[in-house]
Each structure stands twice: as structure tokens, then as C-alpha cells.
């Protein structure tokens, strides 16, 4: 099973940016955590990060036919990007949205996620472990789809 993990703007600044919200661990630490979680779940992951909305859209489109599912932390684009929503809907790959912080307990403008309309679920406020939870949920969903197709 091959999963694309996409991270949006400013996640490359983990450890420096608002450590009281996002923690002191770095983006490299996050990548290592995701790789270890994928190994435990018997999944292959490709992890990417960009600060550019169009790049995220391109990567989502390129995932079609190349990946079994997507984990996405769209970061600030969560609350603004219909383009990312439309790209996810276009490729129709099972997707789980992840946020390190609990966006529903932060500033009011962070309360709405456009992206969630194209996702199986949203994991928020679990820190790095949210990626593990997303990976396990996505794996279970994909395995269930495969089993249903065999019957």
C-alpha cells in the first residue's frame, strides 16, 4: 500500500514556529515519525512539504494512479483553498486530513475546513500521533475496499 503524505505551508518551520502550539520537534522529526509509523503499518509513504498552494494541487493530481491514498495537512490552506478541495474530489483517492493542533479550539477563522468535504475523516489536536492515526484509518479503509472488491 502506497500513501502520499502532503504537508502545507509553514510546517517546514516546526520547532521554531509557535512551539507552544506545535511543539519543539522539527519537521525532520515529523518525517522520521511518519516513516516509523508507516513501517509499523506495513505501508510505503512518500512525504512532501510545500508552501505553495498550486504545488499541492499538482501533487494531488499526480497521485492519481500512483498512490492508494493521501494524508494531507493543508495547514493554512485548510481554511481558504477550494482548489485543494477540488483536486481531492477530482482524483477521488481516499484521503484523511490531519492537523497537529486542534483547529476548532483556535482562532475563529480556523473553524472551517474546506478540505474536510473530500476526506474520510479529520484528525486534529493529536500532534505527531495524528499522522499515525490517519495512516491506520486510511489503511483500514483501503483494505476494506479491497476486500469488498474481492467479494
The bridge status of strand 121-124 relative to strand 2-7 is: unpaired
At residue 56, the pLDDT reads 98
The model's confidence at residue 108, banded by pLDDT at 50, 70 and 90, is: low
Q: Which of 77, 99, 114, 131 is catalytic?
A: 99
Confirm whether 79 is a catalytic residue: no
What is the set of domains in the chain, with CATH numbers? Answer: 2-150 (3.40.50.9100)
Confirm whether 112 is a catalytic residue: no
Q: What is the DSSP letter of 26?
A: -
At residue 16, the pLDDT reads 84
Count how many residues are written for the chain: 151
The model's confidence at residue 93, banded by pLDDT at 50, 70 and 90, is: very high
> Could you tell me the three cell numbers for 123?
484528525
Q: Which of 22, 27, 114, 131 is catalytic?
A: 22
Is 90 exceeded by the pLDDT of residue 88?
A: yes
Cβ pair 98, 130 in contact under 8 A:
yes
> Could you tell me the three cell numbers for 14?
516546526
Residue 36 half-sphere exposure toward CB, CA atoms < 13 A: 8
Dump pLDDT digits (tens) for 28-38. 999 999 999 99
Mean pLDDT of 5-30: 89
The bridge status of strand 44-49 relative to strand 2-7 is: parallel
Mean pLDDT of 22-30: 89
Find cell 477540488 and name the residue: 86
Chain centroid to Cα 78, Å, comes to 11
Alpha carbons 44 and 42: distance in angstroms, whole number: 7
Dump pLDDT digits (tens) for 40-69. 999 999 999 999 999 999 999 999 999 999
Amino acid at each position: 500500500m502506497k500513501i502520499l503524505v502532503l504537508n502545507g505551508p509553514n510546517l517546514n518551520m516546526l520547532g521554531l514556529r509557535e512551539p507552544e502550539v506545535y511543539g519543539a520537534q522539527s519537521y525532520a522529526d515529523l518525517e522520521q515519525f511518519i516513516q516509523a509509523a508507516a513501517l509499523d503499518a506495513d505501508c510505503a509513504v512518500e512525504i512532501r512539504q510545500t508552501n505553495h498552494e498550486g504545488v499541492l494541487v499538482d501533487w494531488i493530481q499526480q497521485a492519481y494512479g500512483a498512490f492508494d491514498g493521501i494524508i494531507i495537512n493543508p495547514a493554512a490552506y485548510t481554511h481558504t483553498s477550494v482548489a485543494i478541495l477540488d483536486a481531492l474530489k477530482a482524483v477521488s483517492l481516499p484521503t484523511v486530513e490531519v492537523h497537529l493542533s486542534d483547529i476548532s479550539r483556535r482562532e475563529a477563522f480556523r473553524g472551517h475546513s474546506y478540505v474536510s468535504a473530500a476526506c474520510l475523516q479529520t484528525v486534529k489536536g493529536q500532534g505527531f500521533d495524528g499522522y499515525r492515526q490517519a495512516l491506520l484509518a486510511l489503511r483500514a479503509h483501503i483494505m476494506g475496499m479491497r476486500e469488498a472488491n474481492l467479494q
